[in-house]
Chains A and B, each alone.
Chain A
Amino acid sequence: MANENEIKALHDAMVAYKVPGIEAAVNAAREAGMPANDIINAMGDGMTEVGVLFERGKLFLPHVLSAAAGMKKAMEILEPEMKASGTSTQAKASVVMGTVEGDVHDIGKSICSTMLQCAGFDVHDLGRDVPTPQFINEIKGGCTFCGMSALMTTTMTVQKTVIDILKSEGIRDKVTIMIGGAPVTQAYADKIGADIYGESASETTQKAKTLISDA
């Protein structure tokens, strides 16, 4: 594999989550002639690993954010090269995130928003107890992913309500619906017609990334 050593160094630097270390790995990769896109992809894989380590209690949220800050720094370094080669530096997609109306639990949703942001998505986090029309408005405004969290069996039904409204307004196909939360399961996602069920924040992010790359 080309640039095998650089790919490993970039991955390891992300997992070590120190901004100077990430910056150094990016500069070394550039000096070795590694294309900017490949550098970003290698860092993206490292970021996925950081998400998994967070969920396994090996890394904590400040570490995740430090790795994300390193990623941001890398994008600044790589931006001139990407612009010159006509490669997009745009976000992967715009995502509206929120805990559905009537539900005030937002820790899991917030972590998922953070992971998606770290993975290069433009995240519009509406918080918790989000009025249903706000999800619809964000989708009409251009968000192509919609993530809804519910921690209670009484509120998970709102996820279906949002999907039903999107269908009735003829815009269901414009958005990828992601759902999660303690009582939510794959079977429920299938039942209400959601596109992605996330058992965890990192799984949701990984599925969203895969969907983008397969598109």
Chain B
Amino acid sequence: MADIYTRMGDGKRVTMTKQQILDDMQAGTADAADMAGVPILDANELDKLLDIIADKNRIVGVEPGNEVVLTYDIGQLDFTGDNGNSGNGVDMGRLEAALLHERALGADTFELAHADYSIKPVKPVISNEMQTMEEIQNEIVIPYFYGAMPNMGLYYAPDGPYSNPADLMREFKIEESMAASEAAAEHLARDIEFVGTKIIAAGADGFNFDTTASAGDADCVGTFKGVEALRKACPDAYINVGMAGESVMGIHGMIEYDGQVVAGLYPHQQCKLAEKAGANVFGAVVNTNTSRSLAWNLARSVTFVKECVKESNIPVHVNMGMGVGGIPMCETAPNDAVTRCNKAMVEIAKVDGV
């Protein structure tokens, strides 16, 4: 009998039998294993995951002693933003938002963010950001980062000086496309160093790079090179490199970082290059498929992330927001699904933080 309330990847509530959940979990872990060439979850892990998903309680949580660090991206925009960034639409100052996260929402770290939340638009307003960073550092206790997306798409026409590589590819101008990606990556790296060193000089604990490689493999290389330069300039800065997806999209296809082609790398491989670039913490990301069940998505996500944690020398904080980490793609992600994903990532994938 289908008597277990669970969710689809778009958040819709469905009922499934224990066997249906188990079948979906097995298919999900097999999909991740096939994609990334990593082991599937073993029988004990699948049993534990089944218990978590099928738990009768609305909310689940980790056992005492298993708590992990809770880090944030997008800064105050979760309060102040419009629904384009899933914000609550509550206008408030950046200091107030930071202190509310510290004192009321249990944040272990937080960050300052610009409304555009991308490296490029921050460059011309960096003095303003430095001033706000100095002010908030005087009040806040928890580690306080600056956060932005590398977002290399902004370096391509019509927003930037380089031709759009995907458009060039469609015209079979493959070499020109690759050259445009490479030039944009160098530009991004320079901007990361500029923005990063300025904000660290203003007292920021560090820099959080959110959705690295969103524009593909050259975006990934540009970010790693920028991180490398930032690490050299600021040896003690806290650097968090969070990704955009489980696989690095090969738009260029051959661009390398540290002698390795980055296209097609999975979390357990991405983390090693992030560490080489100078990251202190790696943010693993696995996207949710809205047409599949929570069981499929969560088993798949845990499979990728577990191997990443195992392979990584630096701490791994899994990204668990709307549509990532097994969590449904839904603005008001159901609490039953969020807490199940959280517990599974902590107690099965053994992440160092969320």
Contacts and interface: CB of A to CB of B under 8 A. Distances in A.
Q: Do chains A and B touch in the complex (CB under 8 A)?
A: yes
Interface of A: 54, 56-63, 65-66, 68-69, 104-107, 110-111, 113-114, 117, 123, 125, 127, 152-155, 182-183, 185-187, 199
A207 to B, nearest CB: 12
Contacts of B164: 106, 110, 127
B83 A153 contact: yes
B214 interface: yes
Contacts of A185: 10, 290-291, 329
B263 interface: yes
B290 A186 contact: yes
A107 B245 CA distance: 13
A114 B166 contact: yes
17 contacts: A58-B264, A60-B253, A61-B166, A61-B251, A61-B252, A62-B178, A62-B250, A106-B164, A110-B166, A110-B170, A127-B158, A153-B83, A153-B84, A154-B84, A186-B10, A187-B10, A199-B290
Contacts of A105: 153
Contacts of B289: 199
A65 B250 CA distance: 12
B86 interface: yes
A199 B8 CA distance: 14
Given A57-B264, A61-B253, A187-B12, A153 B331 contact: yes
B254 interface: yes
Given A62-B174, A66-B174, A110-B166, 6 more contacts: A57-B247, A62-B253, A110-B170, A153-B83, A185-B10, A199-B289
Q: Which of the listed residues B84, B177, B215, B248 has the most CB atoms from chain A within 10 Å of its own CB?
A: B84
| Chain B interface mostly | loop
A69 B172 CA distance: 8
Interface in B239-273: 247-254, 263-266
A61 B169 contact: yes
Nearest to A123: B170
Interface in B171-208: 172, 174, 177-178
B325 interface: no
B303 to A, nearest CB: 14
Given A114-B170, A153-B83, A185-B10, A60 B331 contact: no
A107 B250 CA distance: 11
Interface in B147-177: 153-154, 158-159, 164, 166-167, 169-170, 172, 174, 177
Contacts of A107: 153, 166, 214-216, 249, 251
Nearest to B324: A182
Contacts of A154: 82-84
B14 interface: no
Given A110-B167, A117-B170, A187-B12, A60 B290 contact: no
A154 B266 CA distance: 31
Contact of A155 (B84, B159, B172): B84
A186 B291 CA distance: 7
Given A110-B170, A125-B170, A199-B289, A60 B153 contact: no
A191 to B, nearest CB: 11
Nearest to A186: B291
Interface string B207-226: 00000001111000000000
A62 B247 contact: no
Q: Which of the listed residues A117, A125, A187 has the most CB atoms from chain B within 10 Å of its own CB?
A: A187
B253 A106 contact: no
Contacts of A152: 84-85
Contacts of A58: 264
A-B pairs with lowest CB-CB distance, top 8: A60-B250, A110-B166, A60-B253, A57-B247, A154-B84, A57-B264, A62-B253, A185-B10
